[in-house]
Chain A
Amino acid sequence: MATQIIETRDLVREYKKLRAVDHISFTVEPGEAVGYIGANGAGKSTTIKMLTGILRPTSGLVRTCGRDPLRERIALAREIGVVFGQRSQLWWDLPLQESFTILGAIHRLDPAVARVRSGELVDLLEMGGFLSTPVRQLSLGQRMRAEIAASLIHRPRLLILDEPTIGLDVLSKQRLRDFLGAERREHGTTLLLTTHDMGDIERLCDRVLVVDHGRLAYDGTLSGLAKTVGAERVMVVDLAPQAGHEGVAELRDIPGAALVGVEGEGTRQHLAFDPQATSAGAVLAAVSARADVLDLAIEEPDIEDVVRRIYAASR
């Protein structure tokens, strides 16, 4: 049996009076991609700092790549890559290429091996155009690509990303997600990422951990998370205009459903309903009684909303 990449058992970290991490237990197997989500101050960064040997746990057990992060910090650093989205690990006043050269030396890679690897990353992340630009002059999107390349130069088994897409435009986010997905498929790299962007989770992760007030509130799949909190679904109906009218009257009195959107003078309407309180069939029947339904779609719950509900419920 391969050892788990991450194992925590009853992990606790207290700052003076505040318990930032409160008996968190979970394991991550090699090759998994796990989203670690929660509100600001929920304990995400504190957990990551304990996983990487930056912070000493108050109590409990933590093993990363089978190692004790505090006692074996240096050996562990050779096996993991860490990207702190809001801080840089690059040398801000030097051309980007120098950061890769220095990191290769820090990881004691053979200079030829390091050159091949950084060349590979430069190609994949399309960084050729700004390799000789000083890091402080890079755009945020360019810098994040560089940060991720920097954390992968030594081919770590585990890549930890703390808010990797924060502040990026849609296209840059998409590029990063594609790259990370490919990195995982091709090299079996385990991913653990914290994010506020549900697109990151949907595109990259097959498992979600929700942490709230230092406690693990959920551990499972994304769709299972939506089920757990009984999120509302949205039925979108396209309606035929009534004879003699410009559009369709707004459907404000459907039992068990709330009107959340109207388009095209009422020819497309969005109705939110709780699948546990009513059924899609009952909502559809009530709509049909009032208008001709031409087409319909049922939208999956918005994950951001689901997570907001978890926070709201536990508060």
Chain B
Amino acid sequence: MAEPAGRPTLSVGERLRPYRVILGARMRAQRQYRASFVTDIVGTLLVGVTEFAEVWGVFHNVPVFGGLTYGQAIVVFALSNLCFSLADMLVGHLDTLPQVIRAGQVDAYYVRPLPVLAQFMTSDISLRRIGRLAVALVLLVVGLAMAQVAWSPAKGALLVLSTVSGTVIFSALFTVAGGAQFFLINGPEFTNGFTYGGSYSAQQPQPIFPDPVRIFWTFVIPTAFVAYLPTIVLLDLPGDGFVPRWLAWASPAAALASCALAGLVWRFGTRHYQGGGG
């Protein structure tokens, strides 16, 4: 799909301008209805708090869970929630594909000169998810303080690297879920297993899972890379030796692998697209 000869090559800024304009308009639209925007934020904030209540409940009963103390478990929980809520904010609407197909909106994407997936990803941005993001951020600070991290430049870098990779991994899972909707009937039930199931698995101390489950969440759907593996390194914990500690640094590779999987599923899905009725 080479650009026709004579068309000047676009700079990155020009290349991204359509998406910037779309997203800018989306954000303005959401803020137009101020009252509902505020209640939506409060709603996602409560979701974040409720999810955390589970961790709180566990440590109300036991001092150590899956080899982690309360503070350490909070770091795992917060890091995974941070990544998930970022991905959910950016591309969480990908699992609404069935409605978008029914509304015929996908056909409109096909007749515009941009990649369909990129249009769909930028078709919305859920600013209201900022509530859950805020809960995750506060808990991350609290958890890191409770766990008394011995900071170093490498650890700072690892934290940033893990956050970015984790967000990419969850975004890829949303894309897998979206792509699968093209050829699954009642797809959301099935694909929620990957997205919300992936999120659930990522926020747990991995040693609580039986080995086959751990292998799945490490090497098939790599959500262990999002929070647990980096936390082990950040907090200088020995881990349980299931995988080597240096694997925490391999989260970009896990993110890339997730993207490759997402690309395959999306491609397979669009090839099976039958057109939105009509």
The answer for the CA separation of A55 and B18 in the assembled complex, in Å, is 25
- Among listed B105-113, B204-212, B214-222, B231-239, interface-contacting one: B105-113
Partner of B110, one of A45, A53, A105: A53
CB neighbours (8 Å) of B1 from chain A are: 71-72, 74-75
Please state if A86 and B21 are interface contacts (CB–CB under 8 Å).
no
Residue A73 is within 8 A (CB to CB) of chain B in the complex: yes
* Contact of A101 with B21 at beta-carbon distance under 8 Å, contacts A82-B111, A87-B107 already known: yes
Which chain B residues numbered 124 to 178 have a C-beta less than 8 Å away from chain A? none
* Contact of A87 with B105 at beta-carbon distance under 8 Å, contacts A54-B273, A75-B4 already known: yes
Residue A259 is within 8 A (CB to CB) of chain B in the complex: no
Please state if B113 and A75 are interface contacts (CB–CB under 8 Å).
yes
Which chain B residues numbered 14 to 61 have a C-beta less than 8 Å away from chain A? 14, 17-18, 20-22, 25, 28-29, 32
Residue A193 is within 8 A (CB to CB) of chain B in the complex: no
CB neighbours (8 Å) of A55 from chain B are: 273-275
* Contact of A45 with B278 at beta-carbon distance under 8 Å, contacts A72-B1, A75-B4 already known: yes
Residue A46 is within 8 A (CB to CB) of chain B in the complex: yes
The answer for the CA separation of A106 and B115 in the assembled complex, in Å, is 11
Count A-side interface residues using an 8 Å CB cutoff. Answer: 36
The answer for the CA separation of A202 and B120 in the assembled complex, in Å, is 39
* Contact of A107 with B113 at beta-carbon distance under 8 Å, contacts A54-B107, A71-B1, A84-B107 already known: yes
Please state if B278 and A86 are interface contacts (CB–CB under 8 Å).
yes
CB neighbours (8 Å) of B21 from chain A are: 101-102, 105-106
Residue B243 is within 8 A (CB to CB) of chain A in the complex: no
How close is B183's CB to chain A, nearest CB, in angstroms? 13
Residue B184 is within 8 A (CB to CB) of chain A in the complex: no
Residue A78 is within 8 A (CB to CB) of chain B in the complex: yes
Please state if A77 and B22 are interface contacts (CB–CB under 8 Å).
no
The answer for the CA separation of A84 and B112 in the assembled complex, in Å, is 13
Please state if B110 and A106 are interface contacts (CB–CB under 8 Å).
no
Please state if A84 and B22 are interface contacts (CB–CB under 8 Å).
no
Please state if B112 and A77 are interface contacts (CB–CB under 8 Å).
yes
Residue A116 is within 8 A (CB to CB) of chain B in the complex: no
How close is A53's CB to chain B, nearest CB, in angstroms? 6
Give 10 closest A-B pairs by Cβ, nearest first: A87-B104, A105-B21, A77-B113, A89-B108, A82-B111, A54-B110, A106-B18, A105-B18, A49-B275, A74-B113
